[in-house]
Amino acid sequence: MRFIHCADIHLDSKMETNLSSPKAKERKKEILNTFERMVTYATENDVKAIIIAGDMFDTARITNITKTRVLNTISKNPNIDFLYLSGNHDESNFISLIEDVPKNLKIFGTKWTTFEYGNIKITGVCLNENNSATIYDTLNLSLNDINIVVMHGQIIKHNSKEKGEIINLTKLKNKNIDYLALGHIHSYIQDKLDKRGIYCYSGCLEGRGFDECGDKGFVLLETDDDKVLTKFIPFAKRQLVELVVDITGYDNWFDIESEVLEQSKKLSFDNLLKVTLKGKYKIKLDKHLGMLEQKLEKFYFVKIKDESILEVTLKDVENDISLRGEFIRKVLSSTLKDEEKEQTILVGLKSLFGEDL
Amino acid sequence: MKLIKCHIENFGKLNNFEFNFSEGFNSIKEENGWGKSTFATFIKSMFYGLPSTTKRNLDENERKKYTPWQGGNFGGNIDFEINGKQYRIERFFGKNNSEDTFSLIDIATGKESKDYTENIGEQVFELDEEAFERSAFIPQKVLNSSINESISNKLTNLIQGTTDNYNYEDAQDKLDKKRSFLSNNKGSGQIQLIENKIEDVIGQITELNTSALAINDIQKQVDLYDNDIDKLLKEQSEIKTQIKEYSKAQQKIANKDLYNKLSNEVAETNKTIRVKENIFNGKNTSVPEIDSYINIAKDVSKRESELKLKEKDEYVNKKYDSLVKYFGDENDIPTAEKTKEISDKILNYNSLKNQVESLSVQQKSINESNKKSKLLGLFAILSLLSLILGAVLINTSLMVSVILLVIGGILLLSSGFMYLVNMINVKTKNVNNVNYEQLQSNNNECLKLQKEIEKFLYCFEDVDTDYNTAINNIILNRKDFENIKKQKEENLKENNELRDSLSEEKVKVENFLEQFNLDKNIDLLDNLALLKQTLIDISNLKEKLKKEQEELDNFKKEKNFDIDDNSIVNVDINKLQSKESEYQKQIDVYREYKSNCVAKINKIQDDISALDDLESQKENLENELNELNKEFNAIKNAKKFLEMANESLSTKFLEPMKNGLNKYLSLITGKDFENLKLDIDFNISFEEYGKYRDVDYYSKGYKNIIDLCMRLALIDALFDKEKPFIVLDDPFVNMDDVKIENAKQFLHELSKTYQLIYFSCHESRC
């Protein structure tokens, strides 16, 4: 029997990539489309149930159209059960606003709730501040069943930018769990839980910010007689990719552009690309960030982040008797912050050389 | 510091070139295009190397510009002395810095020296390449170009390290403009515009957030409705249970009714079968057996029909009857002799009758001739009267007289013609008057025969029929009667034989039917059909009975009810249904309330979905503002620090420059320049007659001198520790001969302090 474990779909969520308004709207639609594509995949691959381990939506701002499309998708696939667990971002109380809950949409409560598929038992609980400390004592799973447990929260081992309920893995050990389906962390992580089982964060379906780079998708579970086989299925329409380029030692901008373009060659233009420039550069290096962005315009979205630092010391200009040397010396000797010093020197030099500010 | 010698392996157009430097003045006179600038750049590059750049302009890319034309190793070496120690710098250049090689040899030991690094230029002169190039390298173009421009500006640039087209003031102006573009008093600066936009977006966000807060209140209301609905559903469920119980009981009754109905049907069918079986009187038979008897009976019936048909041979009987009727009675049929006799009499009668009719015609004609003679007499009289009257009237009336005469003539002629014809006829008739008696005799005989014939014929035929036809009819009918009578007798015989054979088959069938309870008055075939149909009916009924029995058994099994259970649920179903309906109404009302709330939430959620966009806008605007503020601060700071640097530089160089300028001008001109004034912007003026005159008042040659002196003063000011060599690239091209001589003398004087490498292309300036 097959199941899909997904989480953190964050439908209608805000894009974190500084996308333009039209593109942000387009990405929102793409996330919804990816969810629908996943359901089609489930239909085509005889998946019995889709486990949504929390954060299907984001905040209270679910648009009516998203809600309608999700409900239509669920009700038009009556052969697939949708096992829905609320996450820390599911503030909207999605279920309470549905007047006719589809029969195949099944909800995990704040106490352990189990859905049975023969000897496969899928048990889950929505964690909150009232139950998160004591819930482990009430979890009783049969030794002879295949047990899949669903939760949404943060295991202590992994850090997440979002605050969520803490999941105590130690208390879940030796509970006859075969597969612990988790949600909250937006990257695919799988590791051993105990002698019998594994725990797994499926990650999100689509990345929304450059802190969610890499392959995104869901986990396909296939149960054998007494075990669960898992396979991560990359499924995102687009990937978010960050290229970090150290420009230390480069004397001219052309070489830096060539390096960035070379590194970006292997990437699909469908991706969202962030180029971060790091390292130190000499004052002689004339940067053309706009030009670089233009050369990468074939990508769906490009963001250039310049974190490189101007490398200039008093010693470097000690023999420069010119106004430029004196100016740099004055700035470097000032009490300005390093970033301010760098900007001041760059602006001052541009003005001295008659360049556009 | 002094240069000793150099070897250029390959540099620009120069290759395998050696030059030994003198201690003071080194004059190199070569034609234009020899490579003086190349040589000068080679010397500089030995100390400072060649910058690596991707610039395409050759003037801005020395590495590219001086790549050897003829190929080979790009570079060479130069020997120099500093602090009493001699060194050799050896540099070779590649396509970029990383391919360059540098070595410093201590000439005394011949070993590599670590006293200086490849950055030896800066280490020796404590000036970077640009400052060195702008001071110790005095190119021709600088002095040339200064003719039309402010010397002070050029010198300021020299110190400021800016380009020819920009200087401190330009930089400040640019910064001011940018600062104003970012923020200004009119409030139209980019920062102010972004701030306004942010304020606007924040306003919209606040408004939507206020709307969003309402969701919580409405959600609470939704939860309350959900509780109410749950409560009502629970209570409704209890009522529904009671209704269900009642329905079950009702169903039980219905089941019993249905069971009874099915049982009755089984009994009824059984009864019908028994009734139908009664016909068979306990005897067994089968459809094929009945069918065999039916076939026999049908055959008998068919043959009987044929028999009856023969018995009822309509033609024979009808014909027989009609002939009997024709003749009156079978005994009255005339014999053949009698009919022969009558036939002969008819022949005789016809002959006599013809003779009588002929004689009668002759007699009639004679009578008519007599009548015509009387008519002729009348005509003759009338014609005579007309002729007489015509003659009389001839004198009176000619016209009438003529007409009368014509008529009288015509009548007279006609009477004469008619008389002649009548006379001929009378002669012929007179002959026949002789047979008149014969006519009377024949006529009597004829009447006698007619009586006899008619007496016979009128017994069988109509009076109107002629005698020949009548006697022929009688003869023919007599013959027909004899034939029909014969045929009738034959039919009777055949029928009797057939009837005998049929009665045997019929008895067989009758004997079969005898076994059953059947009405004997009914036709055999009908009875057999009844028997067969009854047998089929019984079979069908038995099949029906089987199904009915199965249905009854299944019903009992399926419903699984106790047939004897007569318990009754005593509830008022109408009351219960009304109560349930009431609950449903209440639930529907709450659901509608909830639905309205959900619609409100949906509406707000749709509205506040714009929040994401607005927050992104706000974030982007804030980022933009942050960057602009940083830029604004950077501009403010740059402006401030440029001002400070400019002031500092001016202060540092102003006094030494003024002294140096005075010294060198005095050296060249032999005059004292106590009246010279140099302001903070290096603007030079001279006091003459109590007034300061700008340098532009002086001649071109003079300005060249001032320019050179300013540069030398700068070199003095800059190189306060190690005195450099000075490269002069034909600086006196604009001087007249007198001044050139002075300048040459000045250079020789200057070579006591500095090692000079002086390039010129003309003997006069050497």
Please give the ipTM for the structure prediction: 0.75
Among A323, A324, A331, A349, the residue to mutate for chain B (most B Cβ within 10 A): A323
Q: What is the CATH number of the domain that holds A21?
A: 3.60.21.10
Q: Cβ(B51)–Cβ(B136) under 8 Å? A: no
Helix, strand or coil, per DSSP, at residue B365: helix
Portion 94-113 of B in contact with A at CB < 8 A: 96-97
Residue A172 lies in a domain: yes
Same domain, A115 and A188: yes
Query: Are B605 and A324 an interchain contact pair (Cβ–Cβ within 8 Å)?
Result: no
Q: Which residues of A touch B229 (CB under 8 A)?
A: none
Same domain, A37 and A111: yes
Residue B599 lies in a domain: no
Q: What is the pLDDT of residue B366?
A: 59
Q: Which residues form the domain of A325?
A: 240-352
Mind telling me how many Å the CA of A48 is from chain B's nearest CA? 31
Q: What is the pLDDT of residue B741?
A: 77
Query: Are B718 and A321 an interchain contact pair (Cβ–Cβ within 8 Å)?
Result: yes
Residue A201 lies in a domain: yes
Q: How many other C-beta atoms can be found within 10 angstroms of the C-beta atom of residue B675?
A: 13
Query: Are B645 and A326 an interchain contact pair (Cβ–Cβ within 8 Å)?
Result: yes
Mind telling me how many Å the CA of A226 is from chain B's nearest CA? 41
Rounded CA-CA distance B522/A85 in Å is: 89
Same domain, A216 and A262: no
DSSP state of A322: S
Q: Which of A199, A216, A234 is the last residue of a domain?
A: A234
Element (H, E) at B489: helix B467-513
Rounded CA-CA distance B172/B146 in Å is: 23
Helix, strand or coil, per DSSP, at residue B246: helix
Query: Are B126 and A319 an interchain contact pair (Cβ–Cβ within 8 Å)?
Result: yes
Q: CB distance from B648 to chain A under 8 Å?
A: yes
Residue B766 lies in a domain: yes
Q: Which of A322, A331, A357 faces B131 most closely, judged by CB atoms? A: A322
Chain A residue closest in CA terms to B617: A21
Q: Which residues of B touch A306 (CB under 8 A)?
A: none
Q: Which of A13, A60, A352 faces B212 most closely, judged by CB atoms? A: A60
Helix, strand, coil distribution of chain B in percent, nearest 5? 70, 10, 20
Number of residue pairs across A and B with CB atoms under 8 Å?
Answer: 178
Q: CB distance from B637 to chain A under 8 Å?
A: yes
Q: Which residues form the domain of B398?
A: 356-459
All residue ranges of chain B with pLDDT < 50 are 141-154, 163-165, 431, 434
Chain B residue closest in CA terms to A352: B171
| CA nearest neighbour of B311 among B84, B492, B126, B446 | B492
Same domain, A201 and A275: no
Q: Which of B598, B613, B638 faces A97 most closely, judged by CB atoms? A: B598
Portion 155-174 of B in contact with A at CB < 8 A: 159-163, 165-166, 168, 170-172, 174
- Report the number of distinct structural domains present in chain B: 2
Q: What is the pLDDT of residue A304?
A: 94
CA distances from A351 to A281, A312, A356, B152, B175 (A): 20, 18, 7, 20, 7
DSSP state of A11: B
Q: B489: exposed, middle or buried (C-beta count within 10 Å: 0-12, 13-18, 19+)? A: exposed
Helix, strand or coil, per DSSP, at residue A55: coil
Element (H, E) at B10: strand B2-11
Query: Are B162 and A324 an interchain contact pair (Cβ–Cβ within 8 Å)?
Result: yes
Residue B762 lies in a domain: yes
Q: Cβ(A331)–Cβ(B641) under 8 Å? A: yes
Q: Which of A213, A234, A255 is the last residue of a domain?
A: A234
Highest mean pLDDT among A151-165, A221-235, B54-68, B332-346: A221-235
Q: Which residues of A touch B160 (CB under 8 A)?
A: 322-324, 352
Q: Which of B439, B459, B479 is the last residue of a domain?
A: B459
Encoding tokens for residue A247?
């420009």
Mind telling me how many Å the CA of A228 is from chain B's nearest CA? 39
Q: What is the pLDDT of residue A291?
A: 93
Q: Which residues of B touch A25 (CB under 8 A)?
A: 613
What's the mean pLDDT in A179-205? 95
Mind telling me how many Å the CA of B122 is from chain A's nearest CA? 7
Which value, in Å, is the radius of gyration of the alpha carbons in chain A? Answer: 26
Residue B732 lies in a domain: yes
Same domain, A125 and A228: yes
Residue B124 lies in a domain: yes
Q: Which residues of A touch B214 (CB under 8 A)?
A: none
Q: What is the pLDDT of residue A63?
A: 82
Mind telling me how many Å the CA of B88 is from chain A's nearest CA? 23
Q: Which residues of A touch B615 (CB under 8 A)?
A: 14
Q: Cβ(A247)–Cβ(A278) under 8 Å? A: yes
Residue with the bigger pLDDT between A237 and A64: it is A237
DSSP state of B334: P
Q: What is the pLDDT of residue B522?
A: 87
Residue A357 lies in a domain: no
CA atoms within 13 A on the CB side of A182: 28
Same domain, A171 and A229: yes
Q: Which of B612, B623, B637 faces A14 most closely, judged by CB atoms? A: B612
Residue B161 lies in a domain: no
Q: Which of A171, A203, A234 is the last residue of a domain?
A: A234
Q: Which residues of B touch A93 (CB under 8 A)?
A: 219
Chain A residue closest in CA terms to B175: A351
Mind telling me how many Å the CA of A323 is from chain B's nearest CA? 4
Q: CB distance from B616 to chain A under 8 Å?
A: yes
Chain A residue closest in CA terms to B224: A96
Q: CB distance from B719 to chain A under 8 Å?
A: no
Beta bridge partners of B111: B106
Q: What is the CATH number of the domain that holds B128?
A: 3.40.50.300
Q: CB distance from B619 to chain A under 8 Å?
A: yes
Same domain, A303 and A223: no
Same domain, A150 and A21: yes
Mind telling me how many Å the CA of B33 is from chain A's nearest CA? 31
Q: Cβ(B724)–Cβ(B715) under 8 Å? A: yes
Instruction: Please write the tens of the pLDDT for every residue from A293-304.
Output: 999 999 999 999
Chain B residue closest in CA terms to A327: B645
Q: Which of B160, B215, B222 faces A324 most closely, judged by CB atoms? A: B160
Q: Which of B459, B492, B519 is the last residue of a domain?
A: B459
Q: CB distance from B279 to chain A under 8 Å?
A: no
Rounded CA-CA distance A17/A212 in Å is: 10
Residue ranges with strand state E in B93-244? 101-106, 111-112, 137-138
Q: What is the pLDDT of residue A32?
A: 94
Same domain, A133 and A73: yes
- The separation between CA B470 and the C-alpha centre of its own chain, rounded to angstroms, equals 102
Query: Are B633 and A343 an interchain contact pair (Cβ–Cβ within 8 Å)?
Result: yes
Q: What is the pLDDT of residue B166?
A: 52
Residue B494 lies in a domain: no
Query: Are B594 and A320 an interchain contact pair (Cβ–Cβ within 8 Å)?
Result: no
Residues 6+ apart with CB under 8 A from A164: A87, A88, A152, A153, A154, A184
Same domain, A202 and A58: yes
Query: Are B166 and A252 an interchain contact pair (Cβ–Cβ within 8 Å)?
Result: no
pTM over 0.90: no
Mind telling me how many Å the CA of A233 is from chain B's nearest CA? 30
Portion 392-411 of B in contact with A at CB < 8 A: none
Same domain, A194 and A338: no
Among B616, B633, B648, the residue to mutate for chain A (most A Cβ within 10 A): B616
Helix, strand or coil, per DSSP, at residue A290: helix
Residue written as token pair 């990383």: B98
Residue A100 lies in a domain: yes
User: C-alpha angle B258/B264/B267, rounded to 5°?
Assistant: 145
Residue B439 lies in a domain: yes
